[in-house]
Each structure stands twice: as C-alpha cells, then as structure tokens.
C-alpha cells in the first residue's frame, strides 16, 4: 500500500488528478486498491480535494485531488466509500450535493445513523452545522424510535435518512407495516417550515422480506406530505450504478448481490412548505 501511495503522490506532484487518471497512469493497480490508497492519504491529510468534475455518463461528481489544501464547499463522502459497491455509491453522492451550505448555521438530524460514519464525517467537516444522529441500535448519539422521537416540532433545518426508512417498523423484532409512513410523518413534524429532507430508498420490482422496496405508487404515498424538490433514480446494470429515468427504475428487477437492497434506488430531496 505504501508503494502505491508513493506513486499516487508522484502523480500529484505534477498536477491534480482524479482516480481514473491514477488508474490510467499506474497501470498495474486496480481501482479498488487505488480507492483505498486515496482514502488513507486523505485521512492522513496528505492529499486534498481541489475541485470536482461531472461524469457525463453517470452524472456523479468526481473529486480531483491535489497536494494543496483548499476550502471545501461540499462534504467529501468518497473516503466513506472505499471498497463499497452497493447503492451507497450514488446515495452518498446525492446527499453531498444536496446538504445545506456549510456556511449556514443549521441543525441537521441523521435518522438511522448507527453503524454509519456519516454523522461523524459531517461533524468533522469545516461547517457551521450541528449534527444529531439517532437510531434504535447502539452506536449513535441518541437511541430513539424514528416513528416517535419525542423531539420538538420544527427542531431541524434538514433531516437526512439514507437507506433507513424501508426498515422502520420491521427491525429489532418489530412488525409494524406502517412504520415507514409514521417515520415520514415524524420527519415532517420535526422539520422547520421551509426545511428539507434527503431520503433514499430501494426502488423497483424486487421484493425482499427483510425490508420494503418501493414502486411508483408506494413512493408517492410515502412522500405525500412533502413537496418534491429533486428526484434522481439509479439502476444497477452491468456491474455499475447508472442514473436512469423513473420509468426505467420501475422495471428494475435484475439479479444483484445480496447486500444490495434492490436493483434500483430513489434519491429524493423533499421540502416542507
């Protein structure tokens, strides 16, 4: 790993570069090894994100790395994704693009934060955010049921919930078929007027007994209390997550690895008017 990191640093001494540029220039290293090496160099604060470029095929933001540190205007989630192949790749990218400005004083709630490094990364980010992470499981700031938190009305500027709503009411020995709807009502209640929610859920035709997978009708019902500010759909195809239309996501039912929630996912930015 040290040798690979040294080769990456040698490239960056010449000019800023992204992971695809590293891959082309290194030749012998695979993308997974490069991703891990880059993540470690970032954690050590040896390299930094200089800017982003848009991937024309997927629509995702690709970080361009440099040896020089600069002020970041967007949370870098790529360090959380080393070795990840699941829907987190597109969910975290959507999240980073739709978080509130780091220059804005804001209180953000992360619903379903246990076992995730996301809330910690948001706190470490140079921002004016206050972040609270809740879950029913240990490993969060406060153990609370998303269906009834007990938190005050209008407490948060933004609520995020990444691939969590589909589990609410079905985990920890609970069997509540309307748990997801109750959680969404609770999120709506806790948001300030004009506040926003970033929600991601599995989508398509795959059916899984351990969690919900939403189709067009079920998704519309789930978010009926909110106004829709932005929607993005992604479908897993030929070993990659690709941005697609909702119509294409509607029919997604291809075989996917067991740790995936579905063959497609919906990423939503919702507003409370």
Every domain of the chain and the residues it spans: 2-66, 84-271
pLDDT of residue 249: 95
pLDDT of residue 219: 97
Q: Which fold has domain 2-66?
A: Arc Repressor Mutant, subunit A (1.10.10)
Instruction: Find where tokens 């997974």 sit.
Output: 32
pLDDT of residue 49: 87
Q: Which fold has domain 84-271?
A: Rossmann fold (3.40.50)
| DSSP for residue 165 | G
Q: 223-257: b or e for each residue (b if 16 or more CB lie within 10 Å)?
A: beebeeeeebbbbbeeeebbbbeeebbbebeeebe
Q: How far apart are CA 141 and CA 131, in angstroms?
A: 9
Q: For every one of its 273 residues, what pLDDT tens digit does the chain have, with 9 covering 90 and above? A: 889 999 999 999 989 999 889 999 998 888 889 999 999 998 888 998 888 888 777 777 888 999 887 666 788 887 788 778 899 999 999 999 999 999 899 999 999 999 888 998 999 887 899 999 999 988 899 999 999 999 999 999 999 999 999 999 997 777 899 999 999 999 999 999 999 999 999 999 877 778 999 999 999 999 999 999 999 999 998 888 999 999 999 988 767 888 888 999 999 999 999
Neighbouring C-beta atoms of residue 14, cutoff 10 Å: 8
Q: 52 φ, ψ to 5°?
A: -125, 155
Q: Let me know the angle formed at the C-alpha of 268 by 265 and 272, rounded to the nearest 5 degrees.
A: 155
| DSSP for residue 152 | P
Q: Which of 153, 186, 192, 146 shows the shortest CA–CA distance to 169?
A: 146
Instruction: Find where tokens 């790395």 sit.
Output: 65
Q: How far apart are CA 201 and CA 77, in angstroms?
A: 18
**What's the pTM value of the predicted model, to 2 decimals?**
0.77
pLDDT of residue 109: 98
Q: Residue 193 in 3-state DSSP?
A: strand
Q: Please check whether the two domains, 2-66 and 84-271, share a CATH topology.
A: no
Q: Which of 158, 104, 109 shows the shortest CA–CA distance to 270?
A: 158
């Amino acid at each position: 790993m040290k040798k690979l990191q040294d080769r990456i640093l040698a490239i960056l001494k010449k000019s800023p570069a992204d992971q695809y540029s590293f891959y082309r220039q290194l030749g012998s290293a695979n993308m997974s090894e490069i991703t891990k090496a880059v993540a470690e160099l970032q954690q050590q604060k040896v390299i930094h994100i200089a800017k982003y470029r848009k991937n024309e095929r997927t629509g995702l933001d690709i970080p361009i790395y440099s040896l020089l540190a600069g002020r970041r205007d967007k949370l870098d989630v790529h360090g959380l994704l080393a070795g990840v192949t699941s829907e987190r790749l597109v969910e975290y990218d959507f999240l980073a693009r739709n978080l509130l400005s780091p220059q804005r004083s804001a209180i953000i709630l992360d619903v379903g934060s246990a076992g995730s490094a996301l809330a910690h990364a948001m706190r470490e980010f140079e921002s004016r955010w206050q972040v609270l992470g809740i879950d029913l499981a240990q490993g969060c700031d406060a153990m609370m049921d998303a269906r009834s938190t007990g938190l005050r009305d209008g407490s948060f500027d933004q609520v995020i919930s990444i691939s969590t709503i589909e589990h609410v009411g079905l985990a920890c020995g609970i069997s509540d078929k309307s748990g997801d709807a109750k959680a969404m009502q609770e999120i709506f209640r806790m948001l300030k007027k004009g506040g926003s929610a970033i929600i991601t859920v599995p989508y398509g035709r795959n059916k899984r007994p351990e969690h919900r997978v939403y189709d067009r009708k079920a998704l519309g019902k789930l978010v009926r209390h909110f106004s829709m500010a932005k929607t993005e759909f992604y479908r897993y195809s030929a070993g990659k997550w690709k941005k697609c239309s909702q119509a294409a996501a509607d029919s997604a039912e291809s075989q996917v690895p067991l740790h995936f929630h579905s063959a497609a996912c919906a990423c939503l930015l919702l507003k409370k008017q």
